[in-house]
């Protein structure tokens, strides 16, 4: 994996897009490496993932414009499908994924961040969908996820006008959850990831599935999804451990007792 590095720290895996000379722009090789990194995650050991970009300037400055500049209609469609398939697999990845946005998150970079469960960013982060200025539409899910995250009106303004926004504006419109000084970003990402990792993994995974799948259906249908997943938790060791500790008034055991069964 030449363009993506991985590092496991306890129960958290950090996946870093590492092509700083092109501000971590996504060409097919980078996308393949990103997919390979997710495919290789040990889902029995890792309980939260942090995705970030190498360097201090950019998370991901978009899909690679040089690579796209010579594409035909069929190649463009295939590249869009490649990105969409990979980002969808990140969105539906069983384990929660945090995007630690450490600079430019433009075009495909914003789309990658939006396929993650939670976005936090550094003060120098910049978000946007500049595609119409290049004569194309967003192609890795931007027209879909941005509207769902910040509402159709705001998404349409950002996409049609191709205006980039800074960290504070991204916070204001709900595109990111928190803004930190750059030097603190990874520490804060790890802090949040470890908080998530300490909880019962099957329950956390069920919450991710319920929220994601619930957003695609009516509230009533979403409640049925929740009921099934809620019920399934009662077959887990974690439910017995978690509730048993509470009822026996035992000093709460470290959450590390939670297992994947």
Chain centroid offset of residue 56 CA: 19
Closest to ligand CO8 by CB, 82 vs 154, is 82
Reply yes or no on whether 220 is catalytic.
no
Closest to ligand CO8 by CB, 4 vs 12, is 4
Closest to ligand CO8 by CB, 140 vs 258, is 140
255, 199 Cβ separation under 8 angstroms: yes
Residue written as token pair 């950090």: 14
Closest CA to 216 of 82, 91, 124: 91
We find the least distance from the C-beta atom of residue 111 to ligand CO8, in angstroms, to be 6
Query: Among 11, 18, 28, 134, which residue interacts with ligand CO8 (rule: CB under 6 A)?
Result: 134
For 175, the token pair is: 């595109």
Longest CA pairwise span in the chain (Å): 66
Contact between 193 and ligand CO8 (CB under 6 A)?
Answer: no
Closest CA to 210 of 77, 73, 117: 117
Sheet holding 178-180, edge to edge: 4-9, 12-17, 48-53, 97-101, 118-122, 178-180
Contact between 130 and ligand CO8 (CB under 6 A)?
Answer: yes
x-or-dash pattern for ligand CO8, window 21-50, by CB under 6 A? Answer: -xx-x-------------------------
Reply yes or no on whether 131 is catalytic.
yes
- The one catalytic residue among 77, 111, 213, 250: 111
Binding to ligand CO8 (CB under 6 A): which residues in 63-122?
Answer: 63-66, 68, 76, 79-80, 83, 104, 106-108
We find the least distance from the C-beta atom of residue 71 to ligand CO8, in angstroms, to be 7
Closest CA to 45 of 261, 260, 190: 260
Contact between 131 and ligand CO8 (CB under 6 A)?
Answer: yes
Query: Among 15, 61, 150, 193, which residue interacts with ligand CO8 (rule: CB under 6 A)?
Result: 61
Contact between 17 and ligand CO8 (CB under 6 A)?
Answer: no
Chain centroid offset of residue 189 CA: 12
Q: Is 170 helix (H, G, I), strand (E, B) or coil?
A: helix
Contact between 141 and ligand CO8 (CB under 6 A)?
Answer: no
Contact between 242 and ligand CO8 (CB under 6 A)?
Answer: no
Residues 6+ apart with CB under 8 A from 125: 59, 101, 102, 103, 104, 105, 166, 167, 170, 176, 179
For 165, the token pair is: 């926004």
Closest CA to 99 of 177, 36, 152: 177
Cite the active site residues: 111, 131
- The site for ligand CO8 (CB under 6 A) is made up of 22-23, 25, 61-66, 68, 76, 79-80, 83, 104, 106-108, 130-131, 134, 138-140
């Amino acid at each position: 994996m030449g363009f993506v590095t991985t590092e496991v720290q306890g129960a958290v895996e950090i996946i870093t897009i590492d092509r700083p000379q092109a501000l971590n722009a996504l060409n097919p090789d980078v996308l393949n490496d990103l997919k390979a990194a997710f495919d290789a995650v040990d889902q029995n050991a890792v309980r939260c993932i942090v995705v970030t970009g190498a360097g201090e300037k950019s998370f991901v400055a978009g899909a690679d414009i040089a690579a796209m500049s010579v594409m035909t209609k069929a190649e463009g469609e295939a590249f869009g499908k490649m990105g969409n398939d990979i980002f969808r697999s990140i969105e539906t990845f069983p384990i929660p994924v945090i995007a630690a946005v450490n600079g430019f998150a433009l075009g495909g970079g914003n789309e990658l961040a939006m396929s993650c469960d939670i976005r936090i960013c550094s003060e120098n982060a910049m978000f946007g969908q500049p595609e119409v200025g290049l004569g194309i539409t967003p192609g890795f899910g931007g027209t879909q996820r941005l509207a769902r995250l910040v509402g159709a009106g705001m998404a349409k303004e950002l996409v049609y006008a191709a205006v980039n926004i800074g960290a504070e504006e991204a916070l204001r419109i709900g595109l990111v959850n928190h803004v930190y000084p750059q030097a603190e970003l990874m520490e804060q990402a790890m802090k949040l990831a470890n908080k998530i990792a300490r909880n019962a993994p099957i329950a956390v995974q069920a919450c991710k599935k319920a929220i994601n799948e619930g957003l695609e259906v009516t509230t009533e249908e979403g409640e049925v999804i929740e009921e099934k997943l809620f019920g399934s938790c009662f077959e887990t060791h974690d439910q017995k451990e978690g509730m048993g500790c509470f009822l026996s008034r035992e000093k709460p055991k470290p959450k590390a007792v939670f297992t994947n069964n």
